[in-house]
Chains A and B, each alone.
Chain A
Amino acid sequence: MSKKKGQGLYLSDQQPLTTVKTIFLVISYVLLFLYVFVILWPLAQIVFTSFNGNQGAYIQIGGTYAFSLKHFKYLFEETYFTNWVFNTIVIALATAALTLLFVSFTGYAYSRYRFKGRKASLMAIMLIQTIPSFAGIVAFYTLHSIVASIAPWFSRQMFLILIYAGGGIAGNTFILKGYIDSISTELDDAARIDGCGNLQVYRLIIMPIVRPMLAVIALWSFIGPFLDFMLPSILLNDPKAYTLATGLNTLITDQYNMHQPVFAAGGLLTAVPIIILFIALQKQLVSGLASGAVKG
Chain B
Amino acid sequence: MKVQLVNIGKKYEGRENFTIRHIDLEIDDKEFCVILGPSGCGKSTLLRMIAGLNSITEGDLLFDGKRMNKVEPKDRDIAMVFQSYALYPHMTVYDNMAFSLKMRKDKKTVIHERVTEAAELLQITEYLYSKPSEISGGQRQRVALGRAMVRKAGVFLLDEPLSNLDAKLREHMRVELVRLHKSLDTTSIYVTHDQTEAMTMATKIVLLDQGKVQQMGKPSEFYETPANLFVAGFIGSPTMNVFHGTMKDGLFSSDDGLVSVEPGPADKDKLASHEGKKVALGIRSERFIAGESDKNQITVTIDVIEMLGKEQLLYCKLSNGKECVISEPGYFRYTVDEDHKFHFDPKGLHFFDEETTSRIN
Instruction: Check if A and B associate.
Output: yes
Number of interface residues of A (CB under 8 A): 24
Instruction: Please tell me if the beta carbons of B100 and A195 are within 8 angstroms of each other in the complex.
Output: yes
Instruction: Please tell me if the beta carbons of A192 and B132 are within 8 angstroms of each other in the complex.
Output: no
Q: Which residue from chain A places its CB closest to the CB of B133 in the assembled complex?
A: A292
Instruction: Please tell me if the beta carbons of B74 and A194 are within 8 angstroms of each other in the complex.
Output: yes
A292-B132, A295-B84 known; A193 vs B140 contact (CB < 8 Å)? no
A292-B131, A293-B132, A295-B85 known; A193 vs B79 contact (CB < 8 Å)? yes
Instruction: Please tell me if the beta carbons of A189 and B74 are within 8 angstroms of each other in the complex.
Output: no
A289 CB–B CB distance under 8 Å: yes
| Cα distance, A208 to B48, chains bound together (Å) | 26
Chain B: minimal CB distance from A190 (Å): 4
| Cα distance, A200 to B48, chains bound together (Å) | 21
Chain B residues 146 to 167 lying within 8 A of chain A, measured CB to CB, are 147, 164
A184 CB–B CB distance under 8 Å: yes
Instruction: Please tell me if the beta carbons of B74 and A190 are within 8 angstroms of each other in the complex.
Output: no
Which residues from chain A contact B51 at a C-beta distance below 8 Å? 189, 193
Chain A residues 177 to 236 lying within 8 A of chain B, measured CB to CB, are 184, 186-187, 189-196, 200, 205, 208-209
Instruction: Please tell me if the beta carbons of A193 and B74 are within 8 angstroms of each other in the complex.
Output: yes
B53 CB–A CB distance under 8 Å: yes
Instruction: Please tell me if the beta carbons of B86 and A294 are within 8 angstroms of each other in the complex.
Output: yes
Which residues from chain B contact A195 at a C-beta distance below 8 Å? 74, 100, 103-104
Instruction: Please tell me if the beta carbons of B86 and A291 are within 8 angstroms of each other in the complex.
Output: no
A296 CB–B CB distance under 8 Å: yes
Instruction: Please tell me if the beta carbons of B74 and A291 are within 8 angstroms of each other in the complex.
Output: no
B236 CB–A CB distance under 8 Å: no
Instruction: Please tell me if the beta carbons of A190 and B80 are within 8 angstroms of each other in the complex.
Output: yes
A194-B74, A290-B89 known; A189 vs B80 contact (CB < 8 Å)? yes
| Cα distance, A5 to B86, chains bound together (Å) | 55
| Cα distance, A209 to B133, chains bound together (Å) | 13
Instruction: Please tell me if the beta carbons of A186 and B89 are within 8 angstroms of each other in the complex.
Output: no
Partner of B103, one of A114, A189, A196: A196
Chain B residues 74 to 88 lying within 8 A of chain A, measured CB to CB, are 74, 78-80, 82-88
Interface size class of B (residues with CB under 8 A): 20 to 34
Instruction: Please tell me if the beta carbons of B137 and A209 are within 8 angstroms of each other in the complex.
Output: no
Q: Mark A72-83, 1 if CB is under 8 A from B, else 0.
A: 000000000000
Instruction: Please tell me if the beta carbons of A296 and B89 are within 8 angstroms of each other in the complex.
Output: no
Instruction: Please tell me if the beta carbons of A208 and B90 are within 8 angstroms of each other in the complex.
Output: yes
Chain B: minimal CB distance from A117 (Å): 15
Instruction: Please tell me if the beta carbons of B80 and A193 are within 8 angstroms of each other in the complex.
Output: yes
| Cα distance, A187 to B82, chains bound together (Å) | 9
Instruction: Please tell me if the beta carbons of B103 and A186 are within 8 angstroms of each other in the complex.
Output: no
Instruction: Please tell me if the beta carbons of A295 and B137 are within 8 angstroms of each other in the complex.
Output: yes
Q: Which residue from chain B places its CB closest to the CB of A205 in the assembled complex?
A: B88
B127 CB–A CB distance under 8 Å: no
| Cα distance, A294 to B88, chains bound together (Å) | 9
Instruction: Please tell me if the beta carbons of B89 and A193 are within 8 angstroms of each other in the complex.
Output: no
Chain B residues 54 to 98 lying within 8 A of chain A, measured CB to CB, are 73-74, 78-80, 82-90
A190-B82, A196-B103 known; A289 vs B90 contact (CB < 8 Å)? yes
| Cα distance, A117 to B132, chains bound together (Å) | 38
Instruction: Please tell me if the beta carbons of B103 and A194 are within 8 angstroms of each other in the complex.
Output: yes
A195-B100, A292-B134 known; A189 vs B89 contact (CB < 8 Å)? no
B223 CB–A CB distance under 8 Å: no
Q: Which 6 A-B pairs have the closest CB atoms?
A: A292-B133, A195-B103, A194-B100, A294-B84, A293-B89, A186-B86
Q: Can you identify 27 A-B contacts, CB atoms within 8 angstroms?
A: A114-B13, A186-B83, A189-B48, A189-B51, A189-B53, A189-B86, A190-B86, A192-B53, A193-B73, A193-B79, A194-B74, A194-B100, A195-B100, A196-B74, A196-B103, A200-B103, A209-B90, A289-B89, A292-B87, A292-B89, A292-B133, A293-B84, A293-B87, A293-B88, A294-B86, A294-B87, A295-B137
